[in-house]
Amino acid sequence: MSDENGTQDTAGSPTGPRPEPLRFFGTTWVDHEGGYALRRVGAAVGSLAAGVASCLVLRFAYQGLQLADTGSFVTVLVVAMFAICSALAFRHTWESFGTRPDPERQASLRGLLAIGFVGSLAAYFFRSLTEAPGERLHRTEYETARTEYEKRTTRRTGNPSKKRRRK
């Protein structure tokens, strides 16, 4: 059992803050163990494959517009919409690896991120080349929590009322 601070209350168990698991990586990002390198390679290859497959689906949609003979205005509008939404989704996803996104803003951008899914997949791929996506943010938060926990636990030793007085 752990409390709201992440400390264990069972005897003999490690205490202190717990690292937050990352999607596809769990807590292997802390010490880069437990198949961390393979998971990073898998995340990079998987996101690249999903991005390529997504581009093929978009290509079929583009060909469908050409066959429907909707006109150049609609075609340009759809291509521009996917390009702009993908660029915005890339930027938003990339920034979310460094800072926690605002939940209200995240909810309002849900549609844009769904349309620009290729940009999100590209951001995930590029981040996977250097680290687990979101690792730097989680590592910073975890190390801050560890240092604060160490300060809290080492600040006082013993019962202050039993402290010997100087004469």
Q: What is the pLDDT along the chain (167 residues), one digit of tens a residue?
A: 444 444 444 444 467 889 998 888 888 888 889 889 999 999 999 999 999 999 999 999 999 988 998 888 999 999 999 999 999 999 999 999 999 889 999 999 999 999 999 999 999 999 999 999 999 999 999 999 999 988 887 766 666 666 666 66
7 by DSSP, 3-state: which?
Answer: coil
> For residue 140, what are the contacts with CB-CB under 8 A and spacing of at least 6?
none
* Sign of the CA dihedral with 127 first, then 128, 133, and 136 last: negative
Which residue carries 């163990």 as its tokens?
33
Report pLDDT digits (tens) over 59-100.
999 999 889 988 889 999 999 999 999 999 999 999 999 998
